[in-house]
Amino acid sequence: MRELFEDRHGVESALILKEYALTPAYYSTDVLHREAELKEIAEAVKPLLYGRQPENLFIHGDSGTGKTTCAKYVSRKLEEQSGNVKPVYINCWQSLTRMSAYSKIALAIETMLPRRGWAIDEGLDRITEAMEKENVRVLMVLDELDGLFFQHQEWLLYDLTRINSEKPLFCVIAISKDKNLLANKDIRIKSSVRLKDLEFKHYNAAQIADILEERAKISLRDGSYNRNVLDACAARAFARESNARLGFEFLWRAAKIAERGNRSKITLEDVKASAERTLYDEKAPKRVEDLGFEFMNASLTDEERLILSILKNGEKTSSQLYAAFCKKMTRSSRSIRNYLSRLEIKQLVRIETVPDNGSGFSTRKIRLNIGVGNET
């Protein structure tokens, strides 16, 4: 059935010219409606330029509020200002260890570390010696900081700030959705790191529409959309915790629907239909095509993605989930519980312990952590 893949409309009819610009992984050269936050981040890290003590930051806020975008934007501008400041970005859910972090720092400052057999303190000493010799400082962005604690690598924070007690070589920007993440952590780490709190609050609908317009100019064909379409996508994103990433998804899906209809313009009906193809609408059908943009950008393992795909059709008990999981992958129940714990910390699933039909035992019910907000 070769005709299944035939291009009936041709590339010339495509509305989406740069699809990547509508994904969460894209970082724009301009940042809208975060001027105050950008200024505060810049003021905190600016002392690195002059060899003075910077302020470490703890940035928190819900998904899609621009936390990572702003941190990366300031990092890029800082590096452009001075070749002596090197930004190092680490997602803490991606199999982070202290040694892997030091390897990334060594790569950024162009210093060689032994491929194997070196102790943590040895590697750190070699890095700091090279930084002092070359007069180089490092801005560390630790995104999704929850993963650092989950993997018991939190002493990385202590290592970096302990070095700064003698000479300011590092500045740390830590990012998390959980504003209470550090509340019950080791007092020695908190007192050493001294993270300044910076909250990213929700965008309003008009601000989301402005952000969508900036992305649409990059990604979509001229004349294929209007402000009403962007406003409609923004209104739906605003209804779901003001998550700008969802605005990108609604616009992308609406453009796809228009393309499949061989139309040159995206309509409000396309936007309405796009909301029925995403997990973020409480009124959406239970069966959906995929896991959505938010899950695409959540630093997921193959096992975690499998769990989410199992749950996308509805709530499961732990035994139901384990059975469905093991039909696809062979993992121990302990490993599956560990994957679930990671997903719960990432706020992608909700787990509730409930009595099991009066048997005296309890079971766990697991569902996707989605569908917040009401339609506007």
pLDDT in tens, 334-365: 888 888 988 888 888 889 887 766 555 678 88
pLDDT in tens, 9-30: 554 458 999 998 998 778 888 8
DSSP string over 44-80: HHGGGGGT----EEEEE--TTSSHHHHHHHHHHHHHH
Return the DSSP state at 16: B
Residues of the chain with CATH 1.10.8.60: 17-28+204-296
Residue 280, pLDDT > 50, answer no
Choice between 5 and 320, residue whose per-residue pLDDT is larger: 320
Predicted local confidence at residue 3, as pLDDT: 60
Residues of the chain with CATH 3.40.50.300: 35-199
Residues of the chain with CATH 1.10.10.10: 300-368
pLDDT in tens, 56-98: 999 999 988 999 999 999 999 999 999 899 999 999 988 678 8
How far apart, in whole angstroms, are the C-alpha atoms of residue 48 and residue 86?
Answer: 10
Q: Could you tell me which CATH number the domain at 35-199 has? A: 3.40.50.300
Domain 300-368 - what CATH class? mainly alpha
Predicted local confidence at residue 37, as pLDDT: 98
Domain 17-28+204-296 - what CATH class? mainly alpha
Residue 236, pLDDT > 70, answer yes
Predicted local confidence at residue 136, as pLDDT: 94
The whole-chain average pLDDT of the chain stands at 84
pTM: 0.80
Q: How far is CA 334 from CA 129, 320, 330, 367, in A?
A: 42, 15, 12, 19
